[in-house]
Amino acid sequence: MTTLDGKALAQKVKERVRQEAAGLPRRPGLAMVLVGEDPASHVYVRGKSRDCEQCGIYGETYDLPENTTQTQLLALVEELNGREDIDGIIVELPLPAHLDERQVLEAVAPDKDVDCFHPFNAGKLFVGEKGFLPCTPAGIMELLEEYHIDPAGKRAVVVGRSNIVGKPVAMLLLMKDATVTICHSRTEGLAEICRQADILVAAVGKRGVLTADMVKEGAVVIDVAMNRDEDGKLCGDLDHATTAEKAAYLSPVPGGVGPMTRAVLMENTLFAAKKRQNLL
């Protein structure tokens, strides 16, 4: 079994971004907006700030209180949309329940939407036009490419249909000529469908739904999930010890898709900066 080392590839990607960013007339800028006290979100944003430093990207963090109103948040997004030195804007999800997530994401200027959450950019992805790619799905595709895994003609099964992971990764696999099945909580015969997968993408976010006996011998398994086990340790959807006995390739948790997601965010910020400086 080969481990798909996302940590190592992410370092390579970030080094490439650093070199390119250093050659731009103006360094790229990324604004990260946090609302409330979600501890995981704070950890992610700290990680993204470190990535910015490593890549020579100007990172600016907004740490807004839990009681921030929709109007205040939209006003900040509007201000960032107009800033010349800011190329990318991310609003960390989940937002507190009283805020309208969709409206906020749609307020981000599409040319600064480095998370690729705006319907305009999601639509471009759907029709295959060049633009931002969503970070986690694009990170998965880069990981496959690094290990010379060509999805063409393969049967890919994606378990999960979120707008952030499941749907877009299915679309990217389809664009690479895989035959794609998307499964979800209402899927009947999940085990049987998974067993047909040459490439299995696990994006459920719950342990126990997927087990090693649902993995085809020699499959490529991408475990996207970030769950916590009984001891509070980060783990994926699958049990990796038993899955490793079946899979030919497996992305670890941590150290697989997570670091790649962050690396693509840096690539997207560089892409936005180049576009906004008329270099593309």
Any contact of residue 203 with ligand NAP (CB under 6 A)?
yes
Determine the Cα–Cα distance for residues 52 and 203; give it in Å rounded to an integer.
27
Which listed residue (13, 55, 73, 209) binds ligand NAP by CB under 6 A?
A: 209
Residues in region 22-81 near ligand NAP by CB under 6 A = none
Count of CB atoms situated within 10 Å of the CB of 145: 13
To the nearest whole angstrom, how small is the minimum distance from the Cβ of residue 123 to ligand NAP? 19
- Within residues 132-171, the interface with ligand NAP by CB under 6 A covers 136, 159-162, 164-166
With residue 257 as reference, give the H or E element that holds it.
helix 257-276
185 scored as a contact of ligand NAP (CB under 6 A): yes
Partners of residue 88 on adjacent β-strands: 30
Coil, strand or helix at 224:
coil
Sole window of 20-28, 46-54, 119-127, 257-265 interacting with ligand NAP (rule: CB under 6 A): 257-265
Min dist CB 202 to ligand NAP, Å, is: 8
Contact pick of 186, 189, 231, 278 for ligand NAP (by CB under 6 A): 186
For position 251 contacting ligand NAP by CB under 6 A, the verdict is no
Q: Does 190 bind ligand NAP (CB under 6 A)?
A: yes
CB of 247 to ligand NAP, least distance (A): 18
Task: Confirm or reject binding of residue 257 to ligand NAP (CB under 6 A).
Answer: yes
For 152, phi then psi, to 5°, come to -55, 125
- Residue 261 touches ligand NAP, criterion: CB under 6 A: yes
Q: Binding mask 110-139 vs ligand NAP (x if CB under 6 A, - otherwise)?
A: --------------------------x---
| Range 63-66, long-range pairs (CB < 8 A, 24+ positions) | 63/34, 64/33, 64/34, 64/35, 64/36, 65/35, 65/36, 66/35, 66/36, 66/37, 66/96
C-beta closer to ligand NAP: residue 87 or 92:
92
DSSP string, 37-86: --HHHHHHHHHHHHHHHHHT-EEEEEEE-TT--HHHHHHHHHHHHH-TT-
- The correct pick among 205, 212, 239, 255 for binding ligand NAP (CB under 6 A) is 205
| Nearer to ligand NAP among residue 76 and residue 159 (C-beta) | 159
- Output the smallest distance, CB 37 to ligand NAP, in A: 18
**Nearest residue to 237 via CA among 219, 250, 218:** 250
Edge-to-edge, what's the strand order for the sheet holding 58-64? 58-64, 29-35, 88-91
CB 103 within 8 A of CB 69: no
Query: For the chain, what's the residue count?
Result: 280
Q: Pick from 227, 248, 274, 275 the residue near ligand NAP by CB under 6 A.
A: 227
Do residues 263 and 13 touch, judged by C-beta distance below 8 A? Answer: yes
| Contacts with ligand NAP, residue ranges (CB under 6 A) | 136, 159-162, 164-166, 183-187, 190, 203-206, 209, 224-227, 257-258, 261
